[in-house]
Structure 1
Amino acid sequence: MNGTFADVLLLLAIAVVLVWGFRRVKLPAILAYLVAGIIAGPDVTAWIKDPNEYHFVAELGVVLLLFSLGLEFSLPKMIAMRRLVFGLGAGEVVICTLLFAGLAYVLMGDWTAAMVIGGTLALSSTAVVIKQLGESSQLTTRKGQATVSVLLFQDIAVVPMLIIIPLLAASSAEVSIWESLGIALLKGAGVVVVLMAIGKWVLPHIFREIARLRTDELFVLATLLVALVAGGLTHLFGLSMALGAFLAGMMLGESKYKHQLEADIRPFRDILMGLFFITVGMQLDLDVFWQNLHWILLGVLLIGAIKMLVVRLLAGAMGEREEDSWGAGLMLFQMGEFGFVLVALALTYNLLSQDVASMLVGVGVLGMAVTPMAIQRCRQLVAPLVRGKSRAQEADIKQPDVSEPKQVLVLGFGRVGQTISRFLTNEGIDHLAIDHDTKRVQEAVAGGAKVYFGDAARRDILRAVHADKVELIIISFAEDHKALEVLKAIREINDHAEIIVRSRDDVRLQEMMESGATQVVPDTLEASLMLVSQVLSRSGVPIRRILSRLDQARRSHYGEMHGFYPGETTDMDPEKIDRLQFLHAVQLTDNAYACGKELKELALDDIAVQVKSVRRGDEEFSEVHGDFTLCKGDVVLLAGGPRAIEASESYLLNG
């Protein structure tokens, strides 16, 4: 028992360090878990004597992953994107599976192993690709939508693959694959009917009762129980546990408890999936990996090239632009996390040798490692492939006259940008908008709007529209990091223009001001001001006083509005936490260090904290200065970052 405990402790320690290190260099956590498994495995430190001891717990991770996948499975979304999902997605999975299986059969001569390899390599990494698309602001682009559609179908295709692998093992004995598949389909249909009936008539009542009790741990336990019972039921019928979990997730995916279930299951899923990927890493034979490194590198390139070509031809046949077709293919070049699941399952049923499994894991690890870089540089990488036609297609979009600088530039022609443009048009103000969404620009130009097609973060595009001479520029992007990138690009060529930047909230307000913004307009704070103006107006406050107060708030860069009281539902994302501004009330006890001291003596500004007010009994001091003396019993309202507030509270109370 002590040995097992020490093993788990070492695994956790190395996983924590590696995940931290990998995330610092913006690599996916999956790779960190795989490397942790390699280090703990028999070829490096041999801490874990028998990786099979952890097999059951790791399998639970796969079950919870499929349960989460079922929760996210949306039939309306599938129907809305059916052309790309069932055209491009299905085509990619079927064609790539057959091509890779054919190549594997030629090399190995074993058709069951070849089918497993074909299915494994046809899949791409949903977790890594979706995250990178979001971070690079490409999720809503045409190539981003095509990529998501293929990933959506691949996620669905995983379920039959998980069913087929045990059948391939069974068929290699005495029963034919078609007979096994027919029996499995009958069993599957029966299980689906039973689970759907339970999901429709039983589970909603159970979860409604649990929700009434408002007990978080009971909700979590019930969620885990549903996922595991559904998995156990399919396992009882000789099918994959993951299939049952997926069906359970699907049943609950349409319920009003979907988001709560997702939030509850995520910590368990992530930890157990981490353990699963560690066990995959343990199975990597490093001798085989190093001896065949040249073949693995060649495999990554060949697999990527085949996937790119297949997606390019399919997307092109469906009328997608050449640049978007190549871009979607490039984003899908890697082997995905479900590939590791299939490799592990095939190893369990002895369908693959240890050497082949190690090579497949190596292909997956290398592919996923370079995926973030490939997606970030997607346009530059595909540019040589489409240079001739891409320019011609861009030329098909009728560009407005940009021979002379305009009075106003609107960067981003989404809903906010279009609203600004309409008002400018109504006032007869000469302006130009820039947007990189092909369809939107074509629609807008056809409707008579002055929109220039191009990426506003590129300096050549900015110079083409005379951004270096324009006096007023509005940045209306929904993504703050994109707005910051564009803001910095403009300030490099134009240091005199007034730049008004739209922001989601005040998290990056200071950073934007320091980067050269004249005014930042946060959506949440402006919405608050509009609500305040309505409330004050209906309460009888004169309109002149209301306008004066709104103007004062904007001139002070929303100074009085920064900071809010956090609650249990506040997003405590580690990447955002340092930029948030919280409010926190500290009551000075009888022996508090700050009692009898003036604010200037305490110098709280050095800790980056502001004293908003002090309440003494029934009296409140809303404006306190350096000579204000604190007394015991005072309640000091602090504003600042979470860590700064913690430090200030400790300082006020203990010195």
Structure 2
Amino acid sequence: MPEAIWITFAFVLGLLVKAVGLPPLVGYLAAGFALSGLATAAGIAIEQTSVLEHIAHLGVLLLLFTVGLKLKLRSIVSPEVIGGSLLHFAITCTVFAPGLYWLLDLDWRTALLLAIALSFSSTVLAAKVLESKRELRAFHGRVAIGILIMQDLIALVVMSLAAGKSPSEWALMVFGLPLLRPLLYRLLDASGHDELLVLLGLLLALVVGGLGFEAVGLSSELGALIFGAMLANHPRSQELAKSLWSVKEVFLVGFFLQIGIGGLPDQKAMIFAIAAALVLPLKGLLFYFLLLAFRLRARSSFLTSLSLTNYSEFGLIVASVALPQWLVPLAITVSLSFVLSAPLNRFSHSIYERISHRITRFESQKRHPDEQPISLGNTQVLVMGMGRTGTAAYDWLAPHDSRIMGLDSDPAKAQTHQKEGRNVVFADAEDTTFWEGLHMPELHSVVLAMSDIEGKLIAARMLRKLGFDGYIVAHTMFADEAIKIREAGANDAYLTMSETGVALASHLIDQAGLQSAQVRKPV
């Protein structure tokens, strides 16, 4: 039973790499190569099966669907996304194609297709890393995902041209998909909160988006992403994403295992992969300077570029269609880039803090509209993170203190709050340059309602470092995180579920307690 072996190796190596602070996906890749090496050394029949291939494909579709659920398409249709992706693609192909032609003695068609395959960055890895750090909605996360979507569209065009195929005339129906949004909203509302919600997600990601797009000659990955994006503005989109979390994670293990189990490379493939890994920093540098040219600050350009400094699984798909003889070398190249990129992205913020003094000098003096510096002015109460918890806190406090402000790292969300009458502006608590220029002369209270623990810790530390001696309160799901938040400088950190229970009990006392007092008789 090969599935038992896959699960065992994936769990053991995933646990080991997590113990040293690396993302488990690095362990899943290592598990695949370990299985492949075991098969070669001991003659054990461990190989890819149609089951593993199918599981891997489902994992990719579900990942892209959940990424779509968190996207606001209007926020990725921007000059830095469209211009940055197209310019990077054109420059990479212009430089790499002649180099591969001369160094590897290839024909021009092969050299060009190989350069194209190496120009893409991994949607799966970048989305996985950004999601694990809860940075998909942050400014640099949205720019990275937008560029990846553009690259995926380019890859689809290249595959169609290389295969000599074109989408059927039925593919034009895709332009009418927005008309289905009201129906999709009704289905989401009617699905409830249990297994029907999960099945709806699977139906849209795998059947309607996946098989539906394949039936008209388009990519199933693109279909899953589009159907997720169509639901992104629905109030329950994040509930749907959470309901699919475990299913998606299990299937994605199959994707990373599949890469490694494909087989150990020969010497030429290893040399090619190592050489490609050595030029990988050039890919990140090109992204960095292109994004600076579009007026992004050094921090956003660096974090975006680092998440894109890898090679893509779409390159393998292109190779399977047009360059089958290069599939194994490219698979090793992609795997090696994952191993290098994943840990670097895990420590991206601390890396930037160490080198920021060297790379900020390349910044443009003109700032991007999404990155204007923030002044708190006469604000007395600050709510950081305007999700459900932050919004509830803001609405409760606003009648008591009109000088209240909310901050959120999603510009689109900040705009929505502004339209609803709230004083909310864009700011990223994890942006060190934001704290450097912060002016808060009358601030006396701060509510930390961000979704991730890292943002709360940074905010608490920076507020105290800047001399703020007012009251800081936060919420969290876990007791160990509450301790860390208090150690970082917060006065109080409350457990979300415990406070919910206290609130329910308070309502009970207010209502039932009064009634019982009325019927109580003296002894």
CA positional deviation for 1:510? 4.7
Given the alignment, which residue of 19, 25, 29 partners 1:34? Answer: 29
Q: Is the 8 A contact 1:499 1:518 kept in 2?
A: yes
Other structure's SS at 2:472 match: strand
| Deviation string, structure 1 residues 181-239 (Cα, Å, up to 9, x no partner) | 4xx23x2x325649989x969x979979x959x994997499469836976677678x5
User: How far apart in 2 are the matches of 1:439 and 1:464?
Assistant: 18
| Identical columns (%) | 16
User: How far apart in 1 are the matches of 2:213 and 2:132?
Assistant: 38
User: How far apart in 2 are the matches of 1:115 and 1:80?
Assistant: 32
Paired residue type of 2:170: G
Q: Counterpart of 1:586?
A: none
Instruction: Assess, with a 3 A threshold, how the Cα gap between structure 1 residues 110 and 535 changes in structure 2: closer, same or farther.
Output: farther
User: How far apart in 1 are the matches of 2:454 and 2:128?
Assistant: 15
User: How far apart in 2 are the matches of 1:67 and 1:437?
Assistant: 25
Given the alignment, which residue of 264, 287, 303 partners 2:280? Answer: 303
Q: Is the 8 A contact 2:58 2:251 kept in 1?
A: no
Given the alignment, which residue of 296, 299, 324 partners 1:320? Answer: 296
Q: Is the 8 A contact 2:76 2:143 kept in 1?
A: no
Q: Is the 8 A contact 1:130 1:139 kept in 2?
A: yes
Paired residue type of 1:79: R
Q: Counterpart of 1:519?
A: 492
- Residue 284 of structure 2 corresponds to residue 288 of structure 1: no
Instruction: Assess, with a 3 A threshold, how the Cα gap between structure 1 residues 340 and 20 changes in structure 2: closer, same or farther.
Output: farther
Given the alignment, which residue of 148, 159, 175 partners 1:151? Answer: 148
Q: Counterpart of 1:483?
A: 456
Q: Is the 8 A contact 2:32 2:258 kept in 1?
A: yes
Paired residue type of 2:11: V
| Deviation string, structure 1 residues 459-496 (Cα, Å, up to 9, x no partner) | 9x7999899xx9966463524433334546777998x9
Q: Is the 8 A contact 2:29 2:335 kept in 1?
A: no
Other structure's SS at 1:11 match: helix
Given the alignment, which residue of 469, 473, 478 partners 1:501? Answer: 473
Within 5 A, what are the aligned runs for 1:615-630? none
User: How far apart in 2 are the matches of 1:493 and 1:259?
Assistant: 35
Q: Counterpart of 1:597?
A: none
- Residue 273 of structure 2 corresponds to residue 278 of structure 1: no
Q: Is the 8 A contact 2:311 2:337 kept in 1?
A: yes
Paired residue type of 1:350: P
Q: Counterpart of 1:105?
A: 101
Which deviates more, 328-337 or 69-78?
A: 69-78
Paired residue type of 1:122: S
| Deviation string, structure 1 residues 254-298 (Cα, Å, up to 9, x no partner) | 468977876676655544443343232133535528962xx6455
Of the two structures, which has the highest relative contact order with CA contacts closer than 8 Å and spacing of 6 or more? 2
Q: Counterpart of 2:521?
A: none
Q: Is the 8 A contact 2:310 2:338 kept in 1?
A: yes
Flag structure 2 segments of 5+ consecutive residues without an equivalent. Answer: 416-422, 518-523
**Scaled by the length of structure 2, what TM-score is found?**
0.67
User: How far apart in 2 are the matches of 1:264 and 1:435?
Assistant: 28
Q: Give the paired residue count.
A: 487
Within 5 A, what are the aligned runs for 1:555-594? none
CA positional deviation for 1:76? 8.2
User: How far apart in 2 are the matches of 1:66 and 1:133?
Assistant: 17
| Deviation string, structure 1 residues 358-403 (Cα, Å, up to 9, x no partner) | 3454344333443323454234335412237589989x9899899x
CA positional deviation for 1:121? 2.4
Q: Is the 8 A contact 2:277 2:337 kept in 1?
A: yes
CA positional deviation for 1:138? 5.4
Q: Counterpart of 2:419?
A: none
User: How far apart in 2 are the matches of 1:439 and 1:245?
Assistant: 27
Paired residue type of 2:309: F
Within 5 A, what are the aligned runs for 1:40-189? 40-42=35-37, 45=41, 49=45, 51=47, 54-55=49-50, 57-66=52-61, 68-70=63-65, 72-73=67-68, 77-83=72-78, 84-108=80-104, 109-133=106-130, 141-164=138-161, 167=163, 180-181=164-165, 184-185=166-167, 187=168, 189=169
Paired residue type of 1:334: N
User: How far apart in 2 are the matches of 1:454 and 1:244?
Assistant: 34
Other structure's SS at 1:333 match: coil
User: How far apart in 1 are the matches of 2:139 and 2:239?
Assistant: 31
**Scaled by the length of structure 1, what TM-score is found?**
0.56
CA positional deviation for 1:54? 1.1
Paired residue type of 2:34: I
CA positional deviation for 1:324? 3.0
Which deviates more, 123-132 or 527-536?
A: 527-536
Other structure's SS at 2:279 match: helix
User: How far apart in 1 are the matches of 2:483 and 2:367?
Assistant: 40
Other structure's SS at 1:41 match: helix
Paired residue type of 1:481: E
| Deviation string, structure 1 residues 327-367 (Cα, Å, up to 9, x no partner) | 42233212244445545x258x6242644553454344333
Q: Is the 8 A contact 1:195 1:230 kept in 2?
A: no
Q: Counterpart of 1:378?
A: 352
Other structure's SS at 2:324 match: coil
User: How far apart in 2 are the matches of 1:244 and 1:486?
Assistant: 41
Paired residue type of 2:454: H
The root-mean-square deviation of aligned C-alpha atoms, in Å, is 5.9
Instruction: Assess, with a 3 A threshold, how the Cα gap between structure 1 residues 324 and 253 changes in structure 2: closer, same or farther.
Output: closer
User: How far apart in 2 are the matches of 1:411 and 1:71?
Assistant: 27
Instruction: Assess, with a 3 A threshold, how the Cα gap between structure 1 residues 379 and 517 changes in structure 2: closer, same or farther.
Output: closer
Q: Is the 8 A contact 1:336 1:368 kept in 2?
A: no
Q: Counterpart of 1:604?
A: none
Paired residue type of 2:448: S
Instruction: Assess, with a 3 A threshold, how the Cα gap between structure 1 residues 117 and 382 changes in structure 2: closer, same or farther.
Output: farther
Flag structure 1 segments of 5+ consecutive residues without an equivalent. Answer: 168-179, 428-432, 444-448, 546-655
CA positional deviation for 1:82? 1.0
- Residue 14 of structure 2 corresponds to residue 19 of structure 1: yes
Other structure's SS at 1:501 match: strand
